[in-house]
Amino acid sequence: MSESANPTAEPLIPATFEMLVMSLATQAQVHLGLFRLTEEPAELNLPGARHAIDLLAMLLEKTKGNLTLEEKRLVENSVTELRFRYVQAAGSGASA
To the nearest 10°, the Cα dihedral for 65, 68, 73, 75? -70
Q: Please count the other Cβ atoms lying within 10 Å of the Cβ belonging to residue 74.
A: 19
Q: What is the pLDDT of residues 4-42, one digit of tens each?
A: 567 678 888 899 999 999 999 999 999 999 887 778 877
Distance CA 17, CA 19 (A): 5
How do the domains of the chain map onto residue ranges? 14-35+44-91
Q: Is the pTM of this model over 0.85?
A: no
Q: Which amino acid is at 20?
A: L
Angle at 54 between CA 51 and CA 56, to 5 degrees: 115
Chain-centre distance for alpha carbon 90: 18
pLDDT at 38: 78
Confidence of residue 3 (pLDDT cuts 50, 70, 90): low
- Average pLDDT value for the chain: 89
Q: What is the pLDDT of residues 35-72, one digit of tens each?
A: 877 788 778 999 999 999 999 999 999 999 999 999 99
